[in-house]
Amino acid sequence: MNITLIFFLGLIIALVGVIPPGLLNMTAAKISLKEGYSRGIMFSIGVCLVVIVQTYLAVIFARYLSSHSNVIDILQRVALVIFVLITVYYLIFAKSETKSESVNNVKSKHSRLFFGMFLSCLNVFPIPYQAYMSITLASFGWLTFDMTSIASYVAGSAMGTFVMLYVYIFFFDKVKGKAFTSQKNMNYIIGGITGVISVFTLINVIKEL
């Protein structure tokens, strides 16, 4: 298979996966608004570095995950706990965070890089998502599991993730100053999004019981 096509398949699949408002893209937009464009970009780069590892692991273990559904069940339970904790944090501490904007402004670009990596590590959804998609692509003969194809697919996934994070940063930069982009409201939006994700994850976990 042409590695260029595999690259763009990875890019499109990752792009679609990050389109819905979520923790990572909303946080990237929030950091860009409150601390500057460059720190939002550094956060996004940190996210993409972890996405590279996650996508690689997902492709490597694609066959294993397809025949062992219990692994995906475990990931769902871990993700449920993580997103419930994140939801509680943003909804409860949203007001108190509005008072610390001056502190956030002195954070270095490197700290935002590592924060992006940390938050992306907490987001385990790309692993089952990419594993499923890579299996689907392989079933159509569009993806093989040789190292060249894997590297091309992983690179495309990282680029797709970065493009969508940049779109969020660009969009929120254009609408900054609006009421819903205030520090408190951004926290509430993130908390609400993770809350919805928690509910859907809980529903999936219950269905598997």
> 100: pLDDT confidence band, cut at 50, 70 and 90?
very low
Read off the pLDDT of each residue in 27-50 and give the average, rounded to a whole number: 88
Phi, psi of 63 (to 5 degrees): -65, -40
H or E stretch including 46?
A: helix 37-60
* pLDDT for residue 103: 40
Q: Which amino acid is at 182?
A: S
Whether the Cβ atoms of residue 141 and residue 2 lie closer than 8 Å to each other: no
What pTM did the predictor assign? Answer: 0.66
Phi, psi of 178 (to 5 degrees): -70, 160
Residue 101: is its pLDDT beyond 50? no
Most confident of 44-58, 78-92, 116-130: 44-58
* pLDDT for residue 176: 57
Mean pLDDT, all residues of the chain: 76
> 51: pLDDT confidence band, cut at 50, 70 and 90?
very high
CA atoms within 13 A on the CB side of 69: 4
* pLDDT for residue 187: 63
CA distance 44 to 178: 23
Q: What is the pLDDT of residues 169-196, one digit of tens each?
A: 888 766 555 554 455 665 666 667 667 7
Residue 55: is its pLDDT beyond 70? yes
* pLDDT for residue 98: 47
More confident residue, 99 or 34: 34
Single out the residue of 35, 7, 51, 54 nearest to residue 152, CA to CA: 7
Print the domain residue range for 106: 3-208
Q: What is the pLDDT of residues 60-74, one digit of tens each?
A: 877 676 566 666 566
Q: Total domain count for the chain?
A: 1
Whether the Cβ atoms of residue 96 and residue 26 lie closer than 8 Å to each other: no
Residue 57: is its pLDDT beyond 70? yes
Q: What is the pLDDT of residues 7-18, one digit of tens each?
A: 999 998 888 778
* Helix, strand, coil fractions of the chain, as percent rounded to 5: 85, 0, 15
Least confident of 57-61, 70-74, 120-124: 70-74
The proportion of the chain whose per-residue pLDDT surpasses 70, expressed as a percent, equals: 67
Residue 48: is its pLDDT beyond 90? yes
Q: Which amino acid is at 79?
A: A
Q: Which residue has the tokens 């992983």?
A: 154
